[in-house]
Amino acid sequence: MRNLFVAVSTDQNVANLPPILQYAGRGDWVIWLESEEARNECWRWGSEKVLHRRGIISNGHPLGDFMNPREVGECAYNAVRQHLNRGPATVYFVMNGGTKLMPLGLTLAGKALENAPVAVRYLYSNPRPVVLFSYEHPIESNAPWRIRYHHARMLSLPEIAMINERTIPEDDVRWQPGKPFPETPLRDKKRRNKGYLFEKEIFYTTLSFLHGFDRDGYVIKEVRWGPKIMNEKQVEAELDVAIVLNNGVVIDLECKSGRSQIPKQKMMFRLHIIREATSHLAQTYIVRPTGSRHPRWNIPEMVEVIQEEQFKARLREILSPFR
């Protein structure tokens, strides 16, 4: 084992995984500090599935009063000490999970390990911009290192869904930075309805923009056309175009070419499903064709409607804070 990672298990574990995946290799370990609720709700299980597929070992360690930083620190320290006989070179504390007091407890654990024969680092996955902050010590250090994610190691959309106990079949169209634009699947080439053609246009317009915006993949992990979110064998939601960022944030582009009403309750349920299957940071935008007229939609205030002629400019405004 080269590396040992310590993270707090929460119901939003997507934020914990990018810092781990940046450095973890086969045979490394992840310790999940688990409150009673986290154990009862099995919050770490989805993350463990993703990690195990990559050859990374993980297990849970019971955490008592998660609102007590000293107790969090003692718990993290004891968990690390149990693994020191395996000879990790570096211990990484992931500062994203849990309450705002959790990082203080993890800092106390790192302080207690100063005389141990290991290097200690602290990692924080920043929402915007998409960078990883690395500290030698979060209180005593100077400015942190700002590290760009290695996008090939980051979470794919199906892995994000797996963390949240959902599945996404690998039958959609996928693109990653640095790769050629994908062709339309043969099964879809005869489809010519208005909605399909508009989705296709927005997908390839998005790829064309991102090819210049993030050629090296510092921000974007992948873009998918038509992924289906499934709970067991039931389709809960189908996304038109999904942009997946390296920190696990998903931007959902809903393409609406028709004039039919969108019931507010239906849209709210859709937003709920998307955020449950990805993270609470997911964003949804509705894209409309150029010159189209539509009735007043009673949609949630957090959902913005973008006209096609403004799409590229608005996409730049949406993504620029992440760069």
For 220-257, what is each residue's pLDDT tens digit? 999 999 999 999 889 999 999 999 999 999 999 999 88
Check which CATH number belongs to the domain holding 198 and give it. 3.40.1350.10
14 lies in the same domain as 111: yes
Using the predicted structure, report yes or no on whether residue 295 has a pLDDT greater than 70.
Answer: no
Confidence band, pLDDT 50/70/90 cuts, at residue 8? very high
For 39-71, what is each residue's pLDDT tens digit? 999 999 999 999 999 999 999 999 988 889 999
For the chain, percent of residues with pLDDT exceeding 90: 71
Using the predicted structure, report yes or no on whether residue 300 has a pLDDT greater than 90.
Answer: no
208 lies in the same domain as 128: no
Q: What is the mean pLDDT of the chain?
A: 90
Check which CATH number belongs to the domain holding 67 and give it. 3.40.50.10770
Domain limits for position 59: 3-147
198 lies in the same domain as 123: no
Confidence band, pLDDT 50/70/90 cuts, at residue 204? very high
165 lies in the same domain as 304: yes
121 lies in the same domain as 167: no
8 lies in the same domain as 117: yes
CB 145 within 8 A of CB 118: no
123 lies in the same domain as 192: no
Whole-angstrom distance, CA of residue 250 vs CA of residue 282: 5
- pLDDT for 199 equals 92
180 lies in the same domain as 295: yes
- pLDDT for 260 equals 62
- pLDDT for 89 equals 82
135 lies in the same domain as 14: yes
Of 114, 147, 180, the one marking the end of a domain is 147
Q: What does pTM read for this prediction?
A: 0.93
Of 97, 129, 147, the one marking the end of a domain is 147
87 lies in the same domain as 56: yes
In the chain, the number of structural domains is 2
Q: How many CB atoms lie within 10 A of CB 239?
A: 25
Using the predicted structure, report yes or no on whether residue 153 has a pLDDT greater than 60.
Answer: yes
49 lies in the same domain as 177: no
CB 248 within 8 A of CB 159: no
Weakest mean pLDDT among 97-111, 201-215, 281-295: 281-295
Confidence band, pLDDT 50/70/90 cuts, at residue 201? very high
- pLDDT for 43 equals 94
CB 257 within 8 A of CB 198: yes
Of 100, 126, 147, the one marking the end of a domain is 147
Whole-angstrom distance, CA of residue 138 vs CA of residue 282: 28
- pLDDT for 216 equals 93
Q: What is the mean pLDDT of residues 135-148?
A: 86
34 lies in the same domain as 123: yes
